[in-house]
């Protein structure tokens, strides 16, 4: 099996002194990219990250001015739980941001993971397969180097011929059943931002910088990725 590496991964590291500074940097860049995409072609497609780290960024976006009617929201992964379950990534994004801005609900596309891994993946494939490249993909990083719901040991989801959307079983991070965009699909993007905060990520960041293989290192868009990381004791 060929792990996805059409181009070597280029990582630009952006270090912030706090989670709030990281959120401000990511929110600012996201709004800039949206403005330019909408100016160029009247639409902005963004894939949202799950987990807890993006919440502060989402709360800043909720308070921002933007051409919201031209935003199109997708999700990088989802936990198999009912749509109104607080453990859902779509629930957190809605509560922190989306419910507070006038993005047409028809332009917000949660992953139907409540249908289960296989059916959820099948349904979402139809939705994303005709998008050549997302304008922006937001991703988190797990302590083991996972991103979205792409976990170490599940190499098929990192493979160069993986489907766009994959079912995930036995995820080491609860809940075990999930749906995720594959490394290949997440890499088909103009920009990819990783949002990384928490002392528990330091070892994964160190291994990534040292060139170790891990799911996060399999995200390889042509233009490279931007990794926003909190490292105490820095200035910005």
Residue 51: C-alpha distances to residues 56, 75, 142, 188, 203 (Å): 11, 12, 9, 22, 18
Residue 13, strand partner residues:
227
CB of 112 to ligand 6PG, least distance (A): 15
> In 10 A of CB 32, how many CB atoms?
10
CB of 80 to ligand 6PG, least distance (A): 11
Q: Which residue has the closest beta carbon to ligand 6PG?
A: 140
Q: Tell me the C-alpha distance between 169 and 76, whole Å.
A: 16
CB nearer ligand 6PG, residue 103 or residue 138: 138
CB of 201 to ligand 6PG, least distance (A): 7
C-alpha radius of gyration, the chain, whole number: 16
CB nearer ligand 6PG, residue 34 or residue 92: 92
Strand order in the sheet with 77-79: 77-79, 178-181, 165-168
CB nearer ligand 6PG, residue 37 or residue 179: 179
CB of 95 to ligand 6PG, least distance (A): 15
Binding footprint of ligand 6PG on the chain (CB under 6 A): 49-53, 77, 79, 89, 140-142, 146-149, 173, 198
CB of 140 to ligand 6PG, least distance (A): 2
CB nearer ligand 6PG, residue 29 or residue 173: 173
Q: Tell me the C-alpha distance between 2 and 96, whole Å.
A: 38
CB nearer ligand 6PG, residue 175 or residue 224: 175
Residue among 53, 60, 62 at smallest CA distance from 18: 53
Peptide bond into 100 cis (omega under 30): no
CB nearer ligand 6PG, residue 108 or residue 204: 204
CB of 89 to ligand 6PG, least distance (A): 5
């Amino acid at each position: 099996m060929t792990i996805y590496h059409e181009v070597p991964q280029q990582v630009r590291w952006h270090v912030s002194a706090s989670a709030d500074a990281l959120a401000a940097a990511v929110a600012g860049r996201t709004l800039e990219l949206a403005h330019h995409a909408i100016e160029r072609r009247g639409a902005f497609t963004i894939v949202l990250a799950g987990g807890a780290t993006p919440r502060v960024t989402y709360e800043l976006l909720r308070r921002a001015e933007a051409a919201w009617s031209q935003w199109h929201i997708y999700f990088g992964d989802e936990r198999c739980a009912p749509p109104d379950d607080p453990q859902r990534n779509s629930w957190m994004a809605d509560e922190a941001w989306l419910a507070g801005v006038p993005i047409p609900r028809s332009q917000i596309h949660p992953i139907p993971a409540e249908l289960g891994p296989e059916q959820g993946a099948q349904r979402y494939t139809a939705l994303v397969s005709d998008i050549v490249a997302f304008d922006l993909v937001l991703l988190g990083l797990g302590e083991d180097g996972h991103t979205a719901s792409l976990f170490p040991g599940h190499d098929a989801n990192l493979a160069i011929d993986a489907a766009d959307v994959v079912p995930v079983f036995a995820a080491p991070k609860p809940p075990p059943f999930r749906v995720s965009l594959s490394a290949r699909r997440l890499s088909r993007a103009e920009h990819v931002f990783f949002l990384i905060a928490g002392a528990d990520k330091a070892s994964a960041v160190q291994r990534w910088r040292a060139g170790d293989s891990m799911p996060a290192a399999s995200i390889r868009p042509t233009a490279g990725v931007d990794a926003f990381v909190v490292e105490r004791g820095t200035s910005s």
